[in-house]
Structures are given as C-alpha cells and as structure tokens.
Amino acid sequence: MAFGLFISHGSPNILIENNNWKDVYRNIGKSIMEKFKPETIIVASPHFISWTGTYYIEQSEKLECIQDYYGFPDETYKYCYDAFNDVELVNEIIKESDGKIKGDTKWGLDHGAWIPLYYMFPDNKPRIVTISITENSAEQHYKIGEIIRKAVDKIGRNAIFIATGSPTHRLDLFYFKILPKPTKFDMILIDLIKSGRFDEILHIKELYPKEYKSATPEGDLNTLYMLLGYVKPKKAELLNYDTPWAGVSMIASEFYD
C-alpha cells in the first residue's frame, strides 16, 4: 500500500506557541509508526524550490537543519532537526528519472520539512529523502511522484511520502492581522479530498481560478501534486484543518492507493 500525507508546516511561531498542531503532528507520527513502520520518509517542502525547471534531490549522507526564516522571536532559533539520508533510494530515484532529477549537496531540511518532522518523529528517526519542487506544471510534478514511486518499488523500500504547505498562504493578511477565517478555496480543496476527486485536485487551478488566486496556495500546491503521482490515491481522509493565523490555513490529510 502506498501512503502519503499532505500537511501544513505553518509559521515557525508554532514552535513556541501553545498550538494544538504540535499534538496533531505527534498523533499522526505515532499512528504512522504503528501502522507502517517506515524505513524512509520522502518529503517535499515548498521552501526547497528550483527555478530552473530541474528537480533536485539531496545526496548528502546527513541532512542538516536549515532555519530559513527571518524576523521571528529568538526562541524559534533554538529548535532544529537533522536526519540521515537514504542515499541508496536517492541514487535509484536519480537513475529512474533519466535526467529529470539531479543530485545536490547544498540543501538540507528547511523549516517546511523539519517542523512537522520534529514533532512527528522525535525519536528513532526514519531516514529522510528531500526533493525540490519547481515552477513546472501540476502534471509534471505528478510525473515526478510517479518516478519516485517506481524507484521505491524497485528496491523494495518501505517508504511514505509527506508533502507540506498551506492551502491558503496570504502573508499580506498575516502581517496586517486580518481576522482568521477559512477561504472558499480551502473549502473546495477539502471537499475534493473528502470526496476522492483527485483528478480535480490536479486541475484545481484551472477549474477554480478565482478562488485559487485569492488563496495563493503555498508552492502552488506542487508538493501535493507530487504526492498524488506517488500514491495514485483511491481514497483520502481529512485529519485536521483550521486557520490559526490570519491568511494562513493549516491542513492534514491522508492519501491511500
């Protein structure tokens, strides 16, 4: 069974706030370890992005924590999360990609990846693989997910895919402290997830252009499209959703083949 999780990483302030998402992460991580006992977590963060159209995957043996956020309280910089890479799987993914994915050693785990991982897998960490998104189309990201799945199956790795990002990511509203509330786009996405209309998710930008533009999804939802290609889900479940900050929504959902 292929399994994937689309989950928001939120603001770095989550690290120091009394925020229920810490428990959401912990409970999901515990459930994943009990159900799947994964050897490897493949994570796509909207903060690891290539502007060249080429996808990059980290080949370093150890993935170092990157605190890629600025202007936050000093206490948020006391938190970090490192992990060991699954280099064998990375090399197989590169091989299967036929040049579409290139190895890199300059990145690590940005906060879009490590904040959820920090709470989900605090002990006995699985190996982590991290891959970039690009400005390419939803369909191209979907195909990258397919390539990753093929490599995972080829070497028989027990792996799951985690895509991070917020459906609504309006930082202008965040900074102006507008009253937090769900957006129409979020409600559309949640309905598509719960009703299993995954092809519509892949084309959500074209089907709901006004709502999409108003929400400005983080990373253009490219991490989610990659997840859909990896899992090819037949069902999904919404685990949690709320809007803890103005302009930034948080979601957690599971996808199964």
Per residue in 162-183, pLDDT tens? 999 999 999 887 666 676 789 9
Residue range of the domain that includes 173: 3-179+191-248
Note whether residue 253 is domain-resident. Answer: no
Note whether residue 255 is domain-resident. Answer: no
What local confidence, expressed as pLDDT, does residue 144 receive?
Answer: 98
Note whether residue 76 is domain-resident. Answer: yes
What local confidence, expressed as pLDDT, does residue 173 receive?
Answer: 75
Note whether residue 13 is domain-resident. Answer: yes
Q: What pairs with residue 104 in β-bridges? A: 58
> For 168, phi and psi rounded to 5 degrees?
-110, 125
E-strand ranges in the chain read 3-7, 40-49, 55-58, 62-63, 83-84, 101-104, 127-133, 159-164, 235-245, 248-256
Domain harbouring 97, CATH code? 3.40.830.10
Which position has the higher pLDDT, 246 or 122?
A: 122
Note whether residue 256 is domain-resident. Answer: no
| 256, pLDDT greater than 80 | yes
Note whether residue 60 is domain-resident. Answer: yes
Note whether residue 186 is domain-resident. Answer: no
Nearest to 125 by CA among 213, 65, 76, 69: 65
What local confidence, expressed as pLDDT, does residue 247 receive?
Answer: 86
* Tally of domains in the chain: 1
Residue 237 burial (C-beta neighbours within 10 Å; 0-12, 13-18, 19+):
exposed
Tens digits of per-residue pLDDT, 46-71?
A: 999 999 999 999 999 999 999 999 99
User: Residue 246 is which amino acid?
Assistant: A
What local confidence, expressed as pLDDT, does residue 179 receive?
Answer: 66
> Region 182-203: what's the mean pLDDT?
97
Note whether residue 254 is domain-resident. Answer: no
Tens digits of per-residue pLDDT, 105-159?
A: 999 999 999 999 999 999 989 999 999 999 999 999 999 999 999 999 999 999 9
Q: pLDDT-based confidence at 244, cuts 50/70/90? A: confident
